[in-house]
Amino acid sequence: MEYFVILMAIFLVTLFIEWKYGIHLYHSMKERVIVTLNIFVVGMIWDYYAVSHSHWVFPGPGLIGIRIYGLPIEEFLFYLIAPYTILTMYKFYDKKLK
């Protein structure tokens, strides 16, 4: 559950920063969907490969417990939230430092 709570906290802070400072990451909804899907698909392929080869595991404590084909739901959320946060922070610092 902690993993989910941390992801949601990061997501909410990022949403607030995007709203407060008028940061726009994409020019259109199509661009937003294409970029997000590309990152998500590559990330999930990487995760499934790593888990299938025992490079890492996701033990039960700290997770909600919902799994999709062996990966916790939090990992799917991670590949949606982390890139969004990184791009928003980049745009935020770029805007503030200029």
Q: Where are the domains of the chain?
A: 2-97
Alpha-carbon span 11 to 79, nearest angstrom: 12
Q: Which of 97, 78, 90 is nearest to 23 (CA)?
A: 90
For residue 2, the model assigns a pLDDT of 85
* 0.75 surpassed by pTM: yes
For residue 65, the model assigns a pLDDT of 85
For residue 59, the model assigns a pLDDT of 82
Do residues 88 and 22 lie in contact, with contact meaning Cβ atoms separated by under 8 Å? Answer: no
Do residues 14 and 85 lie in contact, with contact meaning Cβ atoms separated by under 8 Å? Answer: yes
Residues of the chain with pLDDT under 70: none
Do residues 1 and 74 lie in contact, with contact meaning Cβ atoms separated by under 8 Å? Answer: no
Alpha-carbon span 8 to 2, nearest angstrom: 10
For residue 71, the model assigns a pLDDT of 87
For residue 41, the model assigns a pLDDT of 93
